[in-house]
C-alpha cells in the first residue's frame, strides 16, 4: 500500500495542498485538493514563520476532509535560491558533489557558508578540450580519453556532464524545519519549485520542445523541455500581485457600511485576496492585447471591469516583456528550433483573458494545462479543480528533489535512531532486572498457590452463586453499552432540522447535508448576500446556541441555479455547525 503524503505550496497569497500517494512508481492517486488564504506574516521571500492562524486552518481542513496523510512535503520558490547550469567531467555519481563543492565559489560568488549546493543531472554534452597525458587538468576533464590517448596534446571532443545547480540559503530550509513542528505532520521532504513543475508536466508532452510557464503571485517560472528533459529554467521576478492588488483595492473602496449594521454583517461584507482572485477568474479584466486595454463605450462589461481593465492589463507588460526575452534567448542558442507547445499553469493562468493576451503579444499560442499524465484522481477530482494551480504540489509528491542539506538529513536520521536505541538498551536492562526479581517471586508464588488451592477447595460451595452474579453483571454491562451507543448527536437531527425551518428565510436551500458526532455541515444557497448574512446571524443566535457551540462558513460567492428555462443568480456558501456538547452533557445530568 502506497504511503500518503500532504504536498503543500505556501504561496504569497494562497496556499495549495494535495493529499496523494508519495513517490509511487506508477500511477499515483490524488485523493484531496484544497486551497486557503495564506495568513499575513507566514511567508517572506521563501522563509516561513510559525503562525497559529495557518496551523488552525490547516488542522480544520485535515479534519473536515478526513485526510489520512501523516507526513508533509513542501515545494519552495524563492528569489534567494540561485540557479546555474554548469558542465563537469564525466565522473561517478559519488564524485559529483565533491567537484561542485570544490568549485562552489566559481559557480556562485557569494559567502557559501550561508548556502548549500544541490544538483540535478541534465544529461551530457560533447565539449572541445585540450587533452594532455601529463597535465592534471586534462586528466580531470576526460580521464578515460586521456588514458587511451597516445598523443600528448591533441584537440578533441570530451563528453561532459551537464548539471543544474541550486544555491539554497541555509535559513530557507531551516525555516521549513521549524515551521513543520507546528503543523503536527512529519516532514518528509522540501522540493524546489523547478523540479515540482517538471515532475508534474514531463509526461504530458511527447518528443520535441515544450514550454511551461508557471505564473504565481510574485514570480513566474519558465521551464523549457526538450524530449521530456529540462534544457532551461528561468525565474522572472514578477507575477499577478499587482493585478490582484488593483482589483482588491477597488473592491474595498466600493464597500458601503450602514451605521445600523452589526459587526457580523460588516464582517460579511469584507473582501480579501481570494475574493480578488475569484473576480479575475470570473470576469475579463485582462484585455486580448495591450492596445485594446481601454474599454470602448459600446462594450458590455461590468462597472468594475470598465474601471480597472486598462490598469490590470498594463500591469502585465513587465511579465510579457521578460517572457519574450527568455524565449528569444533560448531560440538564439538553438538553430532551427521548433517549439511544439506553450502551456500556462499557476494562479495567473486561470485569469480570464490571460492566455489570450500572452498569445497575442508573444506571437505564439499559449494554452492552459488540461491534463497531468501519469496520475489518477479519485472520484473525478480533476474535473472539479483547476489543474494548473495544483500542478506543483502534485509534482513534489511524484518525485522530490530534496533541497535539504545532507548533514541535516543525517542529523535527523541519527536523532530518529537514537531514541529507539535508548529504548532498546533500557528494555534489556529492565528485562534482566525482571528475570532476577521474577525468580524470587516465583518461589514465593508457588507457596502462595498451594495455600490458595487449599482455600479454593473450602469455598467451592459458593462457585455456583458467583457464576450467577457474573452473568447478571455482564448482562447489565451490555445493556449500558447499548444505551450509550444508541445515544449521539444524530438523535437530535430531526429537532435540529425543525430549528432550521423555523429560523431560516424562505429562500434558504440546503444541500449536501452531512451530520457527524462533532458537526453538521451543508451547502447553502439564498437569493442575496443580505439573506446570507441573516442565515449566519440566526445560526449564531441565542435560539441556536442550545444546539451549536460555534459556526464556521466559507466565503460567499455567486452561483447560477437553473429554474426551468431560465438561469437565476443566487448566493452560495458552505457552513459547518459544531454541536454544543456541553448542552448535551447538562441535559444528561439533569435527566439523572
Contact 312, 247 (CB under 8 A): yes
What is the pLDDT at residue 181? 87
What residues pair up with 99 in beta bridges, in sequence order?
A: none
Distance CA 195, CA 401 (A): 6
Whole-number average pLDDT of the chain: 84
Q: Please check the confidence at residue 484 and state whether its pLDDT lies above 90.
A: no
Q: Has residue 424 got a pLDDT over 70?
A: no
Between residues 530 and 326, which one has the greater pLDDT? 326
- Relative to beta strand 209-215, strand 339-345 is parallel
Give the list of residues 6+ apart from residue 517 with CB closer than 8 angstroms, or none.
488, 489, 490, 579
Give the confidence band of 395 by pLDDT, cuts at 50, 70, 90: very high
- List pLDDT tens digits, range 151-171: 343 456 788 998 889 999 999
| C-alpha distances in Å from residue 383, one per residue of 281, 378, 380, 395 | 17, 10, 6, 18
Is the pLDDT confidence value at 295 over 80?
yes
| Dist CA 260 CA 274 (whole Å) | 28
Instruction: Give the residue from 81, 30, 55 showing the smallest Cα distance to 190.
Output: 81
- CB-based contacts of 413, cutoff 8 Å, min separation 6: none
**What pLDDT shows up at residue 50?**
92
Pick the CATH number of 4-80+168-239+317-406 from 3.30.70.1710, 3.20.20.210, 3.40.50.300, 3.30.420.40: 3.30.420.40
Q: Dump pLDDT digits (tens) for 515-560.
A: 888 888 899 998 888 888 888 888 888 888 888 888 898 888 887 7
Assign 337 a pLDDT band (cuts: 50, 70, 90).
confident
Examine the pLDDT at 333 and tell me if it is beyond 50. Answer: yes
- CA torsion through residues 404, 405, 410, 416, sign: negative
Do 375 and 30 contact (CB within 8 A), yes or no?
yes
**Which pLDDT band, with edges at 50, 70 and 90, does 498 fall under?**
confident
pLDDT in tens, 453-468: 777 776 766 666 777 7
Say if residues 58 and 37 touch (Cβ distance below 8 Å): no
The SS3 of residue 14 is: strand
CB 168 within 8 A of CB 403: yes
What pTM was computed for the model? 0.65
Instruction: Read off the pLDDT band of 354 (50, 70, 90).
Output: very high
CA angle at residue 117 from 112 to 121, to 5 degrees?
150
Residue 86 pLDDT > 50: yes
* 553/533 Cα distance (integer angstroms): 11
1-5, 100-104, 340-344: which has the minimum mean pLDDT?
Answer: 1-5
- Phi and psi for 425 in degrees, rounded to 5? -60, -45
CATH classification code of 493-591: 3.30.1360
Residue spans per domain, the chain: 4-80+168-239+317-406, 82-167, 241-314, 427-465, 493-591
Question: For 17, phi and psi rounded to 5 degrees?
Answer: -140, 145
Is residue 422 pLDDT above 60, yes or no?
A: no
pLDDT at 242 over 60: yes
Lowest mean pLDDT among 42-51, 167-176, 559-568: 559-568
Eight-state DSSP code of residue 185: S
Amino acid at each position: 500500500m502506497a504511503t500518503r503524503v500532504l504536498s503543500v505550496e505556501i504561496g504569497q497569497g494562497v496556499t495549495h495542498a494535495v493529499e496523494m500517494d508519495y513517490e509511487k512508481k506508477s500511477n499515483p492517486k490524488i485523493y484531496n485538493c484544497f486551497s486557503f488564504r495564506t495568513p499575513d506574516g507566514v511567508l517572506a521571500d521563501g522563509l516561513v514563520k510559525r503562525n497559529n492562524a495557518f496551523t488552525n486552518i490547516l488542522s480544520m481542513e485535515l479534519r473536515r476532509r478526513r485526510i489520512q496523510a501523516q507526513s508533509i512535503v513542501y515545494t519552495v520558490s524563492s528569489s534567494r535560491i540561485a540557479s546555474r547550469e554548469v558542465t563537469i567531467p564525466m565522473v561517478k555519481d559519488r564524485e559529483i558533489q565533491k567537484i561542485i563543492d570544490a568549485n562552489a565559489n566559481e559557480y556562485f560568488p557569494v559567502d557559501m557558508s550561508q548556502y548549500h549546493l544541490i544538483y540535478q543531472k541534465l544529461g551530457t554534452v560533447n565539449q572541445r578540450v585540450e587533452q594532455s597525458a601529463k597535465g592534471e587538468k586534462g586528466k580531470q576533464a576526460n580521464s578515460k580519453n586521456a588514458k587511451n590517448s597516445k598523443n600528448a596534446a591533441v584537440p578533441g571532443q570530451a563528453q561532459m556532464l551537464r548539471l543544474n545547480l541550486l544555491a539554497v540559503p541555509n535559513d530557507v530550509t531551516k525555516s521549513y524545519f521549524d515551521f513543520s513542528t507546528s503543523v503536527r505532520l512529519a516532514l518528509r521532504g522540501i522540493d524546489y519549485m523547478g523540479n515540482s513543475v517538471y515532475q508534474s508536466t514531463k509526461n504530458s508532452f511527447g518528443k520535441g520542445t515544450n514550454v511551461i510557464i508557471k505564473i504565481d503571485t510574485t514570480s513566474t517560472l519558465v521551464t523549457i523541455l526538450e524530449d521530456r528533459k529540462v534544457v532551461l529554467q528561468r525565474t522572472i521576478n514578477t507575477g499577478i500581485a499587482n493585478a490582484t492588488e488593483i482589483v482588491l483595492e477597488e473592491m474595498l473602496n466600493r464597500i458601503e457600511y450602514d451605521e445600523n449594521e452589526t459587526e457580523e454583517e460588516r464582517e460579511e461584507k469584507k473582501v480579501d485576496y481570494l475574493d480578488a482572485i475569484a473576480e479575475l477568474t470570473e470576469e475579463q479584466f485582462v484585455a486580448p492585447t495591450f492596445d485594446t486595454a481601454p474599454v470602448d463605450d459600446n462594450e458590455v462589461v461590468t462597472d468594475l471591469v470598465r474601471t480597472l481593465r486598462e490598469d490590470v492589463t498594463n500591469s502585465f507588460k513587465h511579465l510579457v516583456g521578460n517572457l519574450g526575452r527568455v524565449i528569444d534567448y533560448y531560440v538564439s542558442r538553438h538553430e532551427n528550433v521548433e517549439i511544439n507547445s506553450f502551456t500556462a499553469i499557476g494562479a495567473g493562468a486561470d485569469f480570464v483573458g490571460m492566455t489570450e493576451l500572452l498569445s497575442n503579444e508573444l506571437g505564439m499560442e499559449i494554452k492552459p494545462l488540461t491534463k497531468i499524465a501519469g496520475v489518477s484522481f479519485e472520484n473525478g477530482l480533476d474535473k472539479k479543480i483547476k489543474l494548473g494551480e495544483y500542478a506543483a504540489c502534485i509534482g513534489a509528491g511524484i518525485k522530490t528533489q530534496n533541497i535539504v542539506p545532507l548533514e541535516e538529513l543525517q542529523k535527523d536520521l541519527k536523532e530518529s535512531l537514537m531514541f529507539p536505541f535508548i529504548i532498546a538498551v533500557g528494555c534489556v536492562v529492565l528485562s534482566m532486572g525482571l528475570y532476577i526479581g521474577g525468580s524470587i517471586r516465583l518461589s514465593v508464588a508457588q507457596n502462595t498457590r498451594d495455600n490458595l488451592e487449599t482455600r479454593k477447595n473450602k469455598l467451592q460451595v459458593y462457585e455456583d452463586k458467583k457464576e450467577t452474579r457474573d452473568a447478571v453483571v455482564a448482562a447489565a454491562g451490555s445493556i449500558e453499552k447499548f444505551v450509550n451507543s444508541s445515544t449521539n448527536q444524530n438523535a437530535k437531527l430531526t429537532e435540529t432540522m425543525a430549528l432550521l425551518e423555523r429560523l431560516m428565510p424562505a429562500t434558504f436551500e440546503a444541500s449536501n447535508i452531512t451530520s457527524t458526532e462533532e458537526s453538521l455541515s451543508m451547502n447553502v444557497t439564498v437569493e442575496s448576500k443580505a439573506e446570507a448574512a441573516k442565515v449566519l446571524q440566526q445560526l449564531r443566535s441565542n435560539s441556536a446556541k442550545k444546539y451549536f457551540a460555534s459556526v464556521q462558513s466559507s466565503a460567499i460567492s455567486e452561483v447560477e441555479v437553473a429554474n426551468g428555462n431560465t438561469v437565476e443568480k443566487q448566493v452560495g456558501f458552505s457552513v459547518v455547525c459544531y454541536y454544543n456538547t456541553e448542552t448535551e452533557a447538562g441535559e444528561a445530568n439533569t435527566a439523572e
